[in-house]
Amino acid sequence: MSPDKSHADSFTHETPAPNAPIGVIVGDRLCTGCGYNLVGQTITREPHYNLFITRCPECGTVAALQEYPQLGKWANRWAAVLAGLWLVFMVLAMVASGAVIFGLSAGAHEIATESYGAYLSEKASNWISAHTQIGSAASAPSVIVASAAPATPMVMSATSRTRQDFFSFWGSQDQAAMLSDAGGLFGVVDWWSMSLMYAALCLVTFLFGCFWAALLLGRKAFGRCIVGVLILLISCAFGAILVIDAYGSLPTYTWLAAEQQVGIPWLYITIVFSAIPLMLGLVLGRALVRALLTLLLPPRFRSSLAMLWTTDGQPPPAPR
């Protein structure tokens, strides 16, 4: 075999034939003619100039592809920095989402506490009136406590006296029976105010679910739901602050007693309930975002957001 023929055979073996598929476009690239997103299109070698090209399936426009040289070690370093910043943003966004859900749940906690607190205030006032001697109340409106200097007595404030009276009242009651007489955990609340709070909670948490569904492009429905569970756990962690504050003090006034009995339970009932709209948004949100983009954006702009379609295995939006 002659050297020339061997060289020709070797060249033919290593060089792909014209128009033979070489690869596919894996990133977003818009057609310069119609704006169609060329992600997933086949790359071929143009026979005349021996260049890599792809053709738009919509309008047939040729898109030339260039091979760029290596950017050096700083490319990987900047990529690491950007990845770290993105991770920080994701963590902060999760904490912010959990904080907002906690804030709405704290609103339900306050509604339940206020309703039951008004009931306890009435009961405590009746009990204190029945156990206070009218004569001593008229002659000694405040309690005098002797100090080191007899000429300057200390007067117990009305607030301190009231808190002592309520503490005595609360310790003498069957607290579970009192809650039952008020209607129980679910019957004691103002349901009109609670329904408005829950409507706001459902709307906000569903929108959060849609936001995270669009943000977590690399995750299927199960993975997105795991992120939703983490957000709810963050909300529960914020709620622990209220739990420590409520049960770390003696119930010396109506608000604190009502908070211990109904406020804290309603806080966590609301956080658990918020999982329903949040998970619905995480599962259905990406489809709703796609529908909203199709409705509001012109075709050329939709093509630049094709990853919302291709991440679920759907074809990118048509430019027209």
79-125 pLDDT tens trace: 889 989 999 999 999 999 999 999 999 999 999 888 888 888 888 88
Phi, psi angle pair for 154, to nearest 5°: -100, 135
Specify the pTM: 0.73
What tens digit of pLDDT does each residue of 3-59 get? 444 444 433 444 555 566 777 887 777 787 777 888 888 888 877 777 788 888 888
Please enumerate in sequence order all residues whose Cβ is within 8 A of that of 174, keeping only pairs 6 or more positions apart, or say none: none
Residue 44 or 210, more confident: 210
Calculate the alpha carbon distances from 262 to 115, 272, 304 in Å: 10, 15, 51
pLDDT value at position 173? 85
Whether 309 and 28 have beta carbons less than 8 Å apart is answered as no
Distance CA 100, CA 54 (A): 47
Identify the band that residue 157 occupies on the pLDDT scale cut at 50, 70 and 90: very low
Mean pLDDT for the stretch of residues 153-171: 65
Mean pLDDT for the stretch of residues 276-294: 93
Q: How far is CA 109 from the centre of its chain?
A: 19
Mean pLDDT for the stretch of residues 178-191: 88
To the nearest 10°, report the CA torsion of 96, 102, 103, 104: 120
Residue 20 or 256, more confident: 256
Whether 165 and 128 have beta carbons less than 8 Å apart is answered as yes
Q: Which two tokens stand for residue 169?
A: 């009242």
pLDDT value at position 6? 42
Mean pLDDT for the stretch of residues 281-310: 87
Residue type, 170: W
Calculate the alpha carbon distances from 128 to 124, 165, 175, 258, 296 in Å: 6, 7, 16, 18, 64
